[in-house]
Amino acid sequence: MAPDTTVHNSHVCPHKFAFILDNWIRRLIQNPGKILAGYISPGDIVVDVGCGPGFFTLPLAKAVQTVYATDISNEMLNICRSRAAENNVNNIEFVQSDSINLDIDSNIVDAILLANVYHEFSSNRAILKELHRILKSSGKLFVIDWHRIEMESGPPLEHRLSDKTVIQNFEFADFSFRQAHNIYKQNYVLEFNKD
Ligand SMILES: C[S@@+](CC[C@H](N)C(=O)[O-])C[C@H]1O[C@@H](n2cnc3c(N)ncnc32)[C@H](O)[C@@H]1O
């Protein structure tokens, strides 16, 4: 049977919670440097889907050529934009997404990051097709999301997706699962190729 690609009990994180998404405690448990080491290069074009206030976006931008920071929330994009300006980071292109279409050319992206956002997608078949369109054939896609177990932090259990479900959904959308990276305790990190 085809996997359920129109999941979820989706719940979009409101911009008033931006402060929860960017603080020193989170830097300890989900150090953004760990996802950078070894997976991206200085000449890369990277897309940070659902960038929020820019917890991953700013460190990514310091390590690559260009980051496209996308979000459905204009308020989140404005917070990310202000933080980039405060930190003199000038290589981020901000893209407001209608939750499906991205104003990014086809086959130009070296790496796509979906950090703690996939469980918020309300319908994902079209979004995954769009991510497939923009990724180079040699490109990589990383999904970071919360393990589907009860924890004190993170989204409620009913909003979480198991790593197995995420792998099924991406494989159904023509991505190939490569490996899981065991770098964060509370989150899985799944790596996919385009074909
Ligand atoms: C929990 S926050 C995570 C933000 C950031 N990636 C991080 O790890 O700190 C999820 C973000 O994804 C955005 N979002 C939700 N659905 C989206 C979609 N379909 N396309 C783009 N952004 C989306 C929300 O507005 C929110 O800013």
Ligand 1 center–CA 131 separation, angstroms: 15
Confidence of residue 29 (pLDDT cuts 50, 70, 90): confident
Cα gap 110→47, rounded to integer Å: 8
Determine the structural domain holding residue 173 and report its residue range. 45-194
Q: 73 in ligand 1 pocket by Cβ < 6 Å?
A: yes
Q: Is residue 33 part of a domain?
A: no
pTM for this entry: 0.92
Domain of 138, CATH number, reads 3.40.50.150
Predicted local distance difference test score (pLDDT) of residue 123? 67
Ligand 1 center–CA 80 separation, angstroms: 12
Q: Is residue 26 part of a domain?
A: no
Q: Is residue 30 part of a domain?
A: no
Could you report the per-residue pLDDT of 97-137, keeping only the tens digit for each?
Answer: 887 889 999 999 999 999 999 999 876 788 999 999 999 99
Cα 75 off chain centre by:
18
DSSP secondary structure of 14-81: PGGGHHHHSSHHHHHHS-HHHHHTTT--TT-EEEEET-TT-TTHHHHHHHSSEEEEEES-HHHHHHHH
Place of tokens 């603080």: 23
Q: What is the rounded end-to-end Cα distance, in angstroms, of the chain?
A: 21
Could you report the per-residue pLDDT of 60-89, keeping only the tens digit for each?
Answer: 999 999 999 999 999 999 999 999 999 999
Predicted local distance difference test score (pLDDT) of residue 49? 97
Instruction: Please give the tally of structural domains in the chain.
Output: 1
